Structure 1
Amino acid sequence: MDELALLERSQGPVTRTRLVRDLSALGLHAGDTVMFHTRLSALGYVTGGSQTVIDALREVVGEQGTLMVTCGWNDAPPYEWTTWPAEWQEAIRAGHPAFDPERSEADHSYGRLPEALRLQPGAVRSRHPDASFAALGAAAHRLMDDHPWDDPHGPDTPLARLVELGGKVLLLGAPLDSLTLLHHAEALADAPGKRFVDYEQPIAVDGRRVWRRFHDIDSSEGAFDYVPVVGEERDAFEVIADDFLAAGGGVKGHVGAAASHVFDARDLTGFGVRWLEAKLRR
C-alpha cells in the first residue's frame, strides 16, 4: 500500500504523540506489562514506522513497565524434517545452525515489530527456539529467563509469568486470532483430544551445537480439533475473543486508524480455559 493510501486511512500522519494519546485512552498506563501484536499498516501512515510504535509504547508504560512480543524463529527447521529422505535429513543435521537468541531472526509472519523489539538495546529473548519471546523493560528477565524446554506455552513460561505479573495483551490493528496468550489457555485446559507435537531443533550447549527433542501442544495445526465447535470458516481464537468481549471482557478502541483491543491477561486466560473445557467436553 502506498503512502497516500496510508495517510488517507489515518487522516494524516500517525506520530508518536498521537500514538501515546491513543494508547493511553485505550487503557495502558505507566508500570504496565504489555504483550502486543501489531499489524502496522492498519495504523495508517506511522512516521518512523516500527521504531515510533516502540517508542510510543515505552513512553506510555514508562521505566517500570515492560513490553513483550512473541518471536518464534524464522529459520527453524520444520517439524516434519525428520520424515524427509535420509540424505536431506543428514544435510540438515550436519549443517543447520543452532538457535541463537541474539542473532536468530523472529518469525517474519508475526510482522515487523517482534524483530524490531528484540533488536532494541536491553531487550531479552527467551531461550526456546520454536516458542521464543522477547521483552524490554523492568520485568524482561523475570518474563524471559529459563523458558522451559518442554511445554513452552504452559506453567512457568513467559505467558504464565505475564499472567502472574498482572499483564495485559494489546492488539494494535492485529486480528483477534493473533492472541498467542490463548495457547497458554490450551496448555492449561483439561479437555479431551488435546494434540501434541514432538520435534527436534538445534540449540547451543556449552558452545556446542546439539539437537534437542522438544514436546509441546500443537500450536501450528491446533491443540484441539475445533471444527465441530466453531465450523470450518472461523478461527477458534477469534471466537473465544469475541465471546470474551461479548461477556464484557477487554476494551475496544482505535489507535491511529486501527481498531485495537486491550485484554487483561489473567482474565482472558481464565475465560479461555473455561471456554475450552466447556465446549470441547460436549
Structure 2
Amino acid sequence: MDARDLLARSGGPVTRSRMSRDLAQLGLGDGDIVMLHTRMSALGYVAGGARSVIDALRDVVGSRGTLMVSCGWNDAPPYDFTTWPRSWQDALREEHPAYDPDLSEADHANGRLPEALRRMPGAVRSRHPDVSFAALGPAAAALTADHPWDDPHEPGSPPARLVERGGRVLLLGAPLDTMTLLHHAEALADAPGKRFVTYEQPIEVDGRRVWRRFRDIDSEHGAFDYAAVVGEGQDPFEAIVLDMLAAGIGRSGRVGAAESHLFETAQVIDFALAWIEGRLRREDHRP
C-alpha cells in the first residue's frame, strides 16, 4: 500500500501528537508498564514511522512508564536443523553466530516496532535467544533480568513479571492472535495434552560460543491441540481474545486508523486460564 492510500485511510498523517491523544483516550496513562503488539500499516501513514509510535507511547506513559515488546531472534537456527545431513549440521555448529542481545535482530515477523525499540538508547533485552523480550523505561531491567533458559514463558519470565507488576497489553492495530501473553497462560495452564519442544541454539558463556539445549512449550505449532474447541480455521489465541472482549474485558478504540485494544494483564491471565483449562478438560472427558 503506497503513502497516498495510507493517508486516505487514516484521514491524513498520523502524527506523534495525534497518536498520543488517541492512546490517552484509549486509557493508556502515566506510569503504565505495557507490552506492545503493533501493525504499523494498520495505523495509516505514520509520520516518522516506528520512532514516532515509540515517542507517542513514551509521551503518554511518561518517565515512570515502561514499554515492552516481544523480540525473538530473526536469525535463530531452525528447530529441525538436527535432522539435516551431518555435514550441514557440522557447518552450522561451526560458524553460526551466538545470540547477542545487543546485536541480534528481532524476528521480522513481529513487525518493525520491536527492532526499533530494542535499538533505543537505554533499552534492555533479555538473554533468552528464542523468546527474548526488550523493554525501555525504569522497570526494563527488572522485567528482563535472568530470563529462564528453560520454560521461558513460566514464572520468572518477562511476561510473568509484567503480570506481577500490574502491567497492561496493548494491541496497536495488531491482529488479536498476536497476544504473546497468552503463551504465559498456556505455560501455567493445568490441562491435558500440553506439548513441549526441545531445540539447540548458540549463546555466549564466559566469552565463548556454546550450543545449549532449551525446553519450552510448543509456541510454534501450539502448546495444546485446540482443534476441537475452536472454529475451523480459527486461531485459538484469536478465539480467546474475542471471547475476552465479548465478556467486557479490555478497552477498544482507534489509534490513527487502527482498531486497538488495551487489556489488564491480570484479567487476561485469569480469563485465559479458565478458558484453556475449562474447555480442554471438558473435551478430554467427553465420551
CA distance in 2 between partners of 1:202 and 1:232 (Å): 38
Identify the residue that residue 183 of structure 2 maps to in structure 1: 183
Matches within 5 A, 1:64-143: 64-143=64-143
Matched residues, number: 282
CA distance in 2 between partners of 1:260 and 1:162 (Å): 20
| Aligned partner letter, 2:164 | E
Q: Secondary structure at the match of 1:75?
A: coil
| 2:34 corresponds to 1:34 | yes
| Aligned partner letter, 2:240 | I
CA distance in 2 between partners of 1:266 and 1:203 (Å): 32
CA distance in 2 between partners of 1:55 and 1:262 (Å): 18
Q: Which stretches of structure 1, 4 residues or more, deviate above 3 A after TM superposition? A: none
Identity in percent: 70
Q: In structure 2, list runs of 5 or more residues that go unmatched.
A: 283-287
Identify the residue that residue 60 of structure 1 maps to in structure 2: 60
Tell me how far 1:270 sits from its aligned partner: 1.1
Identify the residue that residue 254 of structure 1 maps to in structure 2: 254
| Aligned partner letter, 1:27 | G
Identify the residue that residue 172 of structure 1 maps to in structure 2: 172
Identify the residue that residue 10 of structure 2 maps to in structure 1: 10
Q: In structure 1, list runs of 5 or more residues that go unmatched.
A: none
CA distance in 1 between partners of 2:169 and 2:10 (Å): 23
Tell me how far 1:232 sits from its aligned partner: 3.1
CA distance in 2 between partners of 1:95 and 1:177 (Å): 35
Identify the residue that residue 210 of structure 2 maps to in structure 1: 210
Tell me how far 1:269 sits from its aligned partner: 0.9
CA distance in 2 between partners of 1:226 and 1:95 (Å): 39
Tell me how far 1:231 sits from its aligned partner: 3.3
Matches within 5 A, 1:226-265: 226-265=226-265
CA distance in 1 between partners of 2:153 and 2:199 (Å): 15
TM-score, normalization by structure 2: 0.98
CA distance in 2 between partners of 1:119 and 1:270 (Å): 33
| 2:23 corresponds to 1:23 | yes
Tell me how far 1:216 sits from its aligned partner: 0.3
| Aligned partner letter, 2:167 | G
| Aligned partner letter, 2:49 | G
Q: Secondary structure at the match of 2:234?
A: coil
CA distance in 1 between partners of 2:191 and 2:155 (Å): 17
CA distance in 1 between partners of 2:211 and 2:112 (Å): 29
What per-residue deviation string (whole Å, max 9, x for no partner) do you get for residues 30-62 of structure 1? 000000010001000110000000000011000
CA distance in 1 between partners of 2:229 and 2:35 (Å): 28
CA distance in 1 between partners of 2:252 and 2:230 (Å): 23
CA distance in 2 between partners of 1:213 and 1:149 (Å): 9
What per-residue deviation string (whole Å, max 9, x for no partner) do you get for residues 18-39 of structure 1? 0000000000000000000100
| Aligned partner letter, 2:220 | S
| Aligned partner letter, 1:196 | F
CA distance in 1 between partners of 2:226 and 2:79 (Å): 21
Q: Secondary structure at the match of 1:230?
A: coil
Identify the residue that residue 196 of structure 1 maps to in structure 2: 196
CA distance in 2 between partners of 1:64 and 1:52 (Å): 19
| Aligned partner letter, 1:153 | H
| Aligned partner letter, 1:78 | P
